[in-house]
Amino acid sequence: MSFRSISALVLCENRLVGKSLLACLLALSPIFGADPIERYLNAPFASELVAAPGGGEVAWILDEAGARNLWVAAAPDFKARRLTSYKDDDGQDLGDLAWSADGRFLVYTRGGDLETNGDIPNPRNLPETPEQAVYAILFDGGAPRKLSDGHGPTVSRDGRVAFLKNGQIWMTTLDAEKTGAKPEEAVHTKASSYELQWSPDGAALAFTSYRGGHSFIGVYRIASKSVTYLDPSVDHDNSPVWSPDSRRIAFVRRAYSSAISVGPVRDAQTPWSIRVADATTGAGRAVWHAEKGPGSAFRGMEAESQILWADGDRLVFPWERDGWLHLYSVPADAGHAQLLTPGEFEIEQVSLSRDRREILFSSNQDDIDRRHVWRVAASGGKVSPILGSQLGEGIEWGPVDVAGGAIAFLRSSATEISRAAVKIGNAPVRDLAPDSIPADFPKDLVKPQQVIFPSSDGLQIHGQLFLPAGGAAAKHPAVIFFHGGSRRQMLLGYHYRRYYSNAYAMNQYLAARGFVVLSVNYRSGIGYGLNFREALNFGNSGGSDFNDVMGAGLYMASRPDVDPKRIGAWGGSYGGYLTAMALARASNLFAAGVDMHGVEDWSIRGDRQLTALNVDELREIERTALQSSPLADVKNWHSPVLLIHGDDDRNVAFNQTERLVEALRAQGVDFEELIFPGEVHEFLLEESWIKAYRAAGDFLARKLKPQ
Q: Which residue stretches of 78-212 are H helix? A: 176-179
Query: Which pLDDT value is given to residue 270?
Result: 61
Are the beta carbons of 124 and 138 closer than 8 angstroms? no
- Report the amino acid identity of residue 40: Y
pLDDT grade for 265, boundaries at 50, 70 and 90? low
- pLDDT single digits (tens) 59-73: 999 999 999 999 999
pLDDT grade for 200, boundaries at 50, 70 and 90? very high
Residue 330 burial (CB count, 10 A): 20
Please, what CATH class does the domain formed by 450-603+613-704 belong to?
alpha beta
Across the chain, what does the average pLDDT equal? 92
Please say if the pLDDT value at position 13 is more than 80: no
* Closest among 185, 319, 163, 153 to 252, alpha carbons compared: 319
Query: Which pLDDT value is given to residue 8?
Result: 45
Query: Which pLDDT value is given to residue 6?
Result: 42
What's the rounded mean pLDDT across residues 393-420? 96
Question: Can you give the pTM of this predicted structure?
Answer: 0.93
pLDDT grade for 474, boundaries at 50, 70 and 90? confident
Checking DSSP bridges between strand 476-482 and strand 562-572, what pairing results, if any?
parallel
Query: Which pLDDT value is given to residue 9?
Result: 47
Checking DSSP bridges between strand 476-482 and strand 314-319, what pairing results, if any?
unpaired
Are the beta carbons of 390 and 382 closer than 8 angstroms? no
Separation of alpha carbons 441 and 121, rounded Å: 30
Coarse DSSP helix, strand, coil percentages of the chain, rounded to the nearest 5 percent: 20, 35, 45
DSSP letters, 195-245, are EEEE-TTSSEEEEEEE-SS-EEEEEEETTTTEEEE-S--SSEEEEEEE-TT
What's the rounded mean pLDDT across residues 638-644? 98
- pLDDT single digits (tens) 101-125: 999 999 999 999 999 989 999 999 9
Percent of the chain with pLDDT over 90: 83
* Closest among 265, 259, 267, 263 to 540, alpha carbons compared: 263
Query: Which pLDDT value is given to residue 553?
Result: 98
More confident residue, 391 or 429: 429
pLDDT grade for 472, boundaries at 50, 70 and 90? low
The residue ranges of every structural domain in the chain are 450-603+613-704
Q: Distance from first CA to last CA of the chain, Å, rounded?
A: 14
- pLDDT single digits (tens) 152-170: 999 999 999 999 999 999 9
- Give the SS3 label for residue 648: coil
Strands of 105-110's sheet in order across: 94-99, 105-110, 133-138, 145-149
Please say if the pLDDT value at position 236 is more than 60: yes
User: Mutual orientation of helices 574-585 and 546-558 as an angle, nearest 10°?
Assistant: 70
Separation of alpha carbons 149 and 132, rounded Å: 6
pLDDT grade for 1, boundaries at 50, 70 and 90? very low
Residue 484 burial (CB count, 10 A): 25
Query: Which pLDDT value is given to residue 227?
Result: 97
User: Mutual orientation of helices 686-704 and 498-512 as an angle, nearest 10°?
Assistant: 40
Please say if the pLDDT value at position 557 is more than 70: yes
Q: Give Dmax over CA atoms of the chain in angstroms.
A: 77
- pLDDT single digits (tens) 363-377: 999 999 999 999 999
Separation of alpha carbons 185 and 87, rounded Å: 33
Are the beta carbons of 580 and 595 closer than 8 angstroms? yes
Query: Which pLDDT value is given to residue 7?
Result: 41
**DSSP code for 302:** B
What's the rounded mean pLDDT across residues 3-15? 43
Query: Which pLDDT value is given to residue 17?
Result: 38
User: Mutual orientation of helices 21-32 and 686-704 as an angle, nearest 10°?
Assistant: 30
Percent of the chain with pLDDT over 70: 91
Please say if the pLDDT value at position 33 is more than 60: no
What's the rounded mean pLDDT across residues 639-651? 97
Please say if the pLDDT value at position 44 is more than 90: yes
What's the rounded mean pLDDT across residues 544-559? 98
CA angle 536, 527, 343 (to 5 degrees): 105
Query: Which pLDDT value is given to residue 369?
Result: 98
pLDDT grade for 609, boundaries at 50, 70 and 90? low
What's the rounded mean pLDDT across residues 295-308? 95
Which has the minimum average pLDDT: 32-41, 321-330, 538-547?
A: 32-41
pLDDT grade for 19, boundaries at 50, 70 and 90? very low
